[in-house]
Chain A
């Protein structure tokens, strides 16, 4: 188990003691922070609602994980900000071939409509190739200014990777967030 796994485990335990994402982030502190990377700038908000007809629909294949991971309204994306890796050769929880997943992330707490439970989602960036440019998505619920980096999605969190060139963002389940 590497340092990140340990950190994640500890963080998840902390989550169990906190009801809000902000409380969770406060415990994590700035150095654990991360972000899904880039903002979907308002100019592109029109495309936030979905990937558009040019991107074929996808499914997780799991009825307990409902929705289309190419769409901005997929439940895990409640705090995401950037290009959806599901449209870029990766999936909602994996990076496209030849990229590198950032070990640092910022996290959100999103409600799964299938079971009604809140999950802690880690928005790991995929790095090492230039902008994917597909399926841009930005949702800023509970986003905080840059001086609270753990809760900010403007920062390029391709930190700790071979290069800090941003390609796309994933939404990985860390675990349950208890109320």
Chain B
């Protein structure tokens, strides 16, 4: 104890002395700086307040609610799949706001009302080996910190980034998670309780498309769909199977779709649109129409991009397009994005991108932005209506392949 007291006494004067010396030397340093480096204009010419000690630890918080300009960029980490991540960026300021770390083949959903992200991930207890653990990890908007982990059966679908591997019901009550081992089912999670409430078997059918009535439908390998209604407890309340409507062998509907005013807009590999209206009762199949003219099809224009569709409730659909279509081009980069009025079933805009797109999304609101993850791994921001390029955000991970607007 005595030794400690002495130490404390000695330390205090030393700090004071050093501080005093710094004050005295300020003028000397200033003159030396001016004499030697005339170009250095940032040196203070007037006496300045000394910098204050800064707190440790010091961790940022985010203001909530988020501005409508935030987006999450998904780094798939193809070269190190077990260590992927989601970066949160402000597309207006280009600032990187923080990130969420994740395991392999991760998914992300969010609820603006709940101010939470839901990251689906598969981990192993020893990194690349050991016991498999599948989780929905809940993060809060304010801290990007883990609120809780919801343990799943180790069978969540591991698939390269696919928005429809999960979904949130239209009433914001349940998170839906696709399983595949290889039998398929959907796990239903109550977002109030952060608990699993049911598992719905979907044999022969995959992926999740929330309807406007609190349920969802799933696409089936026979070319049909199955619509599932949920009750207030998240249990299956109804089930309806459609007749086949999707010619999978000859021209399948891409599973990468966009919902506009409750109508899922599916686009075939060749470029034909199949609307599926979920606003009431059973899903209803709208009239098909083509994105392209016959001449454009003859020129091999086809939909493209990893996730090349985006929608806006103003009745607008954006689709990544390539002029180099062929059997197998459906995941190729898209050098252009075309904008369509789905009510008029016609193209109303055409954007030649600065750099071809892997994936696109469009923000909500009256002045929507087109967000493009490009083949160079940057996020490009465009005015979604005029097509004008705004700016880019770079260095977003090893292999960023997907962007989600957080609005």
Binding site for B on A (CB under 8 A): 22, 26, 30-31, 33, 38-39, 41-45, 104, 128-131, 133, 136, 138-150, 154-156, 158-159, 162-166
Contact = CB atoms under 8 A, between A and B. Distances in A.
A150 B376 CA distance: 31
Contacts of B204: 30
A147 B226 CA distance: 12
Contact of A41 (B182, B218, B358): B358
Contact of B332 (A22, A38, A45, A159): A45
B198 interface: no
B261 interface: no
Interface of B: 76, 78-82, 104-105, 122, 124, 127-130, 132, 157-160, 162, 164-165, 180-183, 204-207, 218-221, 248-249, 252-255, 305-306, 327-333, 356, 358, 375-377, 399, 401
A140 B254 CA distance: 13
B19 to A, nearest CB: 51
A154 B79 CA distance: 15
A147 B162 contact: no
A140 B82 contact: no
A155 B157 contact: yes
B331 A140 contact: yes
B401 A146 contact: no
A30 B257 CA distance: 22
B106 to A, nearest CB: 12
Main secondary structure of the interface of B (DSSP, over half): loop
Contacts of B356: 42
Contact of A130 (B81, B207, B219, B327): B81
A39 B160 contact: yes
B252 A41 contact: no
A11 B81 CA distance: 32
A110 B254 CA distance: 24
B252 A145 contact: yes
A43 B377 contact: yes
B351 to A, nearest CB: 18
A44 B68 CA distance: 32
Contact of B255 (A131, A140, A147): A147
A94 B220 CA distance: 33
A139 B329 CA distance: 9
Contact of B78 (A41, A158, A162): A41
Contacts of B128: 128-130, 163, 165
Would you list the 3 A-B pairs with minimal beta carbon distance, nearest first? A140-B328, A156-B158, A147-B219
A141 B328 CA distance: 4
B306 to A, nearest CB: 6
Nearest to A138: B331
Contact of B252 (A128, A138, A144): A144
Contacts of A146: 159, 162, 164-165, 206-207, 255
With most chain B CB atoms within 10 A of its CB, the pick from A42, A104, A129, A139 is A42
21 contacts: A22-B249, A38-B81, A42-B331, A42-B358, A43-B399, A44-B78, A130-B80, A131-B80, A133-B78, A138-B331, A140-B331, A143-B328, A143-B330, A144-B252, A145-B219, A146-B165, A147-B219, A149-B182, A155-B157, A155-B160, A164-B132
